[in-house]
Amino acid sequence: MKIYGKEIPADLEFPELDKQTKSEIDALHAQMLRDEEKRAEFRERHRDWCSKSLTLEEAWQHMHPGAGPRPAPSVNVEVLRKFSPRLRAIFAYIYRQEITY
């Protein structure tokens, strides 16, 4: 198993997440997407006085002047080991698009 291309040791277990928690995470994600859509619509309607939204790269450069490009996402295995099994399950569900086998 790899997350962001980093090999995860076989002894680090990621239990299956219960259906209710999956539903809650999915509902939260859907709400976040709706909220972002509303913000985008608001910015479009009020272009004359809304400041420009920064891209992730622009925000990185603003917060880290002269630091070069934003680093690629990564995962810290030792921190994952400190997570409870339930938190590892939540992490794996949220980042399921980044997991390869």
pLDDT of residue 49: 75
pLDDT tens digits for range 6-26: 999 999 999 999 999 999 999
Tell me the β-bridge partners of 100.
Answer: 2
pTM over 0.85: no
CB neighbourhood size of 89 (10 A): 19
Residue spans of beta strands (DSSP E) within 1-101: 2-3, 6-7, 99-100
pLDDT at 50: 67
Contact, 89 vs 22, CB < 8 A? Answer: no
How large is the greatest C-alpha to C-alpha distance in the chain, in angstroms?
55
Q: Where are the domains of the chain?
A: 2-100
3-class SS at 45?
helix
Contact 62, 55 (CB under 8 A): no
Q: What is the pLDDT of residues 55-69, one digit of tens each?
A: 788 888 889 998 888
